[in-house]
Every structure is written in structure tokens, then in C-alpha cells.
Structure 1
Amino acid sequence: MKTSIFPYCLFQAEESPYKLTILVPVYNEEDNIERLEKELLEYLKIASVPAKVLFINDGSTDKSLELLEQVCYRNLEFSFISFEKNCGLSAAIKAGFDFVDTELTGYIDADLQTTPNDFNLLLEHIEENDLVTGVRANRKDSFVKNMSSKIANGIRRAFTHDGMDDTGCPLKIIKTCYAKNLPMFKGLHRFLPAMILLQNGKIKQIPVQHFPRIAGEAKYGLWNRLLGPLMDCFAYLWMKKKYINYTINRRGE
């Protein structure tokens, strides 16, 4: 094993040919699995750092798990973990963070409304930052979805002062040592930039492409996009008040 080259972290990356693990939470996305395999394989060929893929099956009740098993069987760079039952997106991301063994962690949704090719845009800025997140340019969602997301992001910014315009964008790169220090709980996936700031980390947002969903069904309604995040803001404020942060300036043996 080798110690991460990034400051602040105690995480040690495994000795492996990979530098980036891409997390893909999956919940009832059987109609997207084939396209996921194709697009992720194409990206691995052009990735600016050696990368692999970790699927997190969030208790799917369709054929997603069966298809993921087949995908991972025929692709060396792909692997998966599977929940016994549906636990939600935050739990899936947290499990991914726990299993990652590379210096960098990426995240993309299984609906492919963003493209893995844009990871290369984010990777250009990760050396100077600890989290780089996409901002969905020219969003291809419905008016109601766009407006609810815009309102929710405004409320969140007022609470967190993180300066981020689109924390719901499902395309991110995080230094793994910071990801593993995140005290995740339900709903906190919307506050990843703010939680990196609590660790005195640096964050940046970069415009990325956005596409309409062409298969499967959206997992979020008005409650998830608007009222839920408002309640989560109070959880974040409690976390911020109680968060333990320290810096070691000397160590002896």
C-alpha cells in the first residue's frame, strides 16, 4: 500500500494500476444497464487516469442485479456490491465510499443524463481541489423539475454558503481521503460540497453536458427535490455545529 499524495488524509490507496473508481448507484434500472456498460467501457478507453467501475445495487426489485452480474463477469474493470433491500441514494454512495481503494472517487447516476466522458473535464481540476462537481448546462428536464431543483439549490446555498449552483448534478470527482471522512446520513448526498468545506477542503464546479432520460423512471418527485432538501438543511446545520475538525502539526514515535 502507498500513502495518498494528498494532504489531510489518513487513507492509504491500494497498490493497483487504477487511480479512479467510478461509483454507479443502481435502483431498478434494468433498461439502462446495457447502455451503462457500453458508455462506461467507451470512457475507460479515453479516461485521463486509469479507472475502474463499482456498481452499487440499491436493493433493485427488477432484473438490474442479474444484469450487473453478467456485466461484471465479462468486464475485468467492473465490479458490484448489492444491498439486501433498498436503502436510498445516500446509503449507496456511502457504501461506495467505504469500498473504494483508489486515490480518486467518481460518481455518476445510472440514468446517464450526464456522460462519463465529462469526467475528464472534472479531472483537469482535481489536483488543486478536493471535490470537483458538474453543473448541468442546458438541462433537459421538465419545467417543474428544473424549477423545484433551482428553488432547492437556492435554499441550500442560503443554509450552507457553499457557493455551488447545482449540488444535485450526478457527476463528481472527490479525493477519496475526503470522501471516507464524510459523516453521511440520509439526504446528505446533496451536501457533499458543504461537507468537504467542513474538512477545510477546496471545491470547484464545472459545466457539463446534460441529456434527457431515455429509459427507466425517475426516482424523485416534488418531495424529494424540494421539501426533503429543506428538512435536510436543518440536519446539515446540526452537523456543522457538532462537527469535529482538527489538524495534527507534530507526531513522534
Structure 2
Amino acid sequence: MTAAQPQLSVVVPVFNERDNVAPLVNEITAALRGVVDFEIVYVDDHSRDDTAAVLQALKAQVPELRVLHHVQQSGQSTAIRNGVKAARGAWIATLDGDGQNDPADISKLIAARDGGGVQTKLYAGWRVNRQDSGSKRWASRWANAIRSRMLRDDTPDTGCGIKLFEREAFLDLPYFDHMHRYLPALMQRAGWQTVSVPVHHRHRTAGVSKYNNLNRALVGIRDLRGVAWLITRSKRTAVREL
């Protein structure tokens, strides 16, 4: 049974991923049962297929599974944030709902956290062997190079969906649409350290991608400018109670 206060919450945002739901849930439970007390929080972003119904049926088989549903489509960042807000674990692992992230890598991120310092609040997956199309890999390299130059976040791959972070630190970050692409820079802005951990990446086996290179680029330019502005306007100071 799911612990009342799990140590880890696995948050998975999904939109029209009905054929990927059950295989990924089964992989998560296989990877984590007996390793850590966990829950799985799926957030259905108002899918137009029967993703929500598939998830609801799975709840009878998987006691760790919880399902949230957006009453209107709101995007991946909002789905992640709502999942984190509903989560009961002090630490959050995120996975993309398309099955391209390997749930077995969550243990690798946990091991990195357990060997890390208390100032490190984000362990970000780094896809060292991307299994996307050539155009997507090229666009990602281009975007990462520009982002790194502007934000100086020392992160080779911010687009990887598998991450491990402290819930409290995440909820203290400024929220905006597409913020999930800039978590290392935002965590560093808040005064925390971040670490990139090499992880597996897999081919999509069902469904279709929800993004293309053009819409990512157009939104990304605007977001980059906004995050760069946030960094220049940040101010941190130590606080002590008198």
C-alpha cells in the first residue's frame, strides 16, 4: 500500500498518451517498489482521447497511483506544478508521459542525491544518447547552446523530462508557462546548486509528439529573455530571527 507520507512522488504530465500510460506505470512500479516509499501522480492535461479513463481503470490495479485531471488544457508546466502541489513526498521525480524517459533512472538520480550536498536541490537528467530525429537533436543542441550562453546555468540538457528535485524548493520558484524548461537556471537563481546526471533515452513507441521545432523556437526566444531578466532582478539575503 502507498505510505501516507511517501518519501518520493513521481509526477507525470500527459496529453493524449492513452497507449503509453499502462506500460509506463508498470515500469515505474517495477523500478521503485521495494526501493523507496513512493506515489505516482499523473496529471491529465484535458486529453482528447481516453487517457483519463485508462488512468482511472489503472487505479484499481496500482495502489500507488493518483490521477488529477485539468478541466481545460493548460500545458506541461501547469500540469507539473499542479502535480507537485498535490504531491505528498518531500522529493519529486518527473517523467515525460511519452515513455522516452526510463523510470529505472530514477534510482540513479536518488543515488546522486544521497551522495550530494544539502545545497543541491535539483538533479537533472542528461540525455547523452538522444533517440529523437536528426532535426530534433540539431534543434536541441542549438537551443541548449543559446540558453547556456544567455543564462550561464552550466546545464547540458534542460529539456530532459526526468528530474529529481525538492518539492519545497520547486514551489518557491517563480511560476510561468514553460518554466519546466528552465529549472536549473531558476534553482540557481534561488541560491541552490544543481547537478546533471547522464540518463537513458528511448524511442517513442506509441502516440505522436506534441511539439515541433518551430513552435519551441518561437516560444523559447521569448522565455529566454524573460528568465534572463528574472536572473538580473534577483536578490537574495540570509535571514535570522531575533
* Alignment TM-score, normalising by the size of structure 1: 0.89
Q: 2:24 aligns with which of 36, 45, 49?
A: 36
Aligned with 2:223 (options 226, 232, 246): 232
Match of 2:94 in 1: 107
8 A Cα contact 2:130 2:202, kept in partner: yes
Which residue does 1:198 correspond to in 2?
A: 189
Instruction: Tell me which stretches of 4 or more aligned residues in structure 1 moved more than 3 Å.
Output: 241-246
Name the residue aligned to 1:168.
159
Match of 1:90 in 2: 77
Secondary structure, counterpart of 1:122 in structure 2: helix
Match of 2:60, SS? helix
Partner Cα separation in structure 2 for residue 16 and residue 30 of structure 1 = 28
Which segments of 5 or more consecutive residues in structure 1 lack a partner in the other structure? 1-14
Matched, 1:185 2:176: yes
Deviations 1:173-217 (A, max 9, x none): 001111111112112111001110011101000110111101011
Match of 2:33? 45
RMSD: 1.5
- Bigger mean CA deviation after superposition, 191-200 or 65-74: 65-74
**Mapped pair 1:144 → 2:131:** no
Corresponding residue of 1:21: 9
The range that moved more, 78-87 or 233-242, is 233-242
Of 109, 113, 116, 1:122 maps to 109
Instruction: Give the stretch that moved more between structures: 56-65 or 239-248.
Output: 239-248
Report whether the alignment pairs 1:63 with 2:54: no
User: With structure 2 as the length reference, what TM-score do the two structures score?
Assistant: 0.92
SS of aligned partner of 2:19? coil
Deviation at 1:17, TM superposition (A): 4.6
Q: Percent identity?
A: 29
CA distance in 1, matches of 2:219, 2:34: 38
Q: CA deviation at 1:94?
A: 1.3
Number of aligned pairs?
A: 236
Residue 200 and residue 212 in structure 1: after superposition, are their counterparts in 2 closer, same or farther (change >3 A)?
same
Structure 2 gaps, min length 5: none
